[in-house]
Amino acid sequence: MIGIILFFLFGSVAYGMYNSFGPGAKGLTDSIDEHARMHELGIAHTHGDN
């Protein structure tokens, strides 16, 4: 039973690392970086300024 749980745990971690750093990461975007870039360009939303 513990072996099955560890198998799925390590499998999930390995799959996440593959998607984050491997070939699957090419389509991912950094939303925080994109938001900061929009602020630099002056086209991002305001932060509650009325």
Residue 47 located in a structural domain: no
Residue 49 located in a structural domain: no
Residue 27 located in a structural domain: yes
Q: Who wins on pLDDT, 22 or 26?
A: 22
pLDDT at 46 over 80: no
For the chain, the domain total comes to 1
Residue 46 located in a structural domain: no
Residue 48 located in a structural domain: no
pLDDT at 15 over 80: yes
Residue 14 located in a structural domain: yes
Residue 28 located in a structural domain: yes
Q: What is the pLDDT of residues 23-45, one digit of tens each?
A: 867 777 778 888 888 888 888 67
Residue-level pLDDT at 24: 67
Residue 50 located in a structural domain: no
Q: Which residue has the tokens 């560890």?
A: 6
pLDDT at 11 over 90: yes
The range of the structural domain enclosing residue 31 comes to 2-41
| CA–CA gap between residue 39 and residue 20 (Å, rounded) | 25
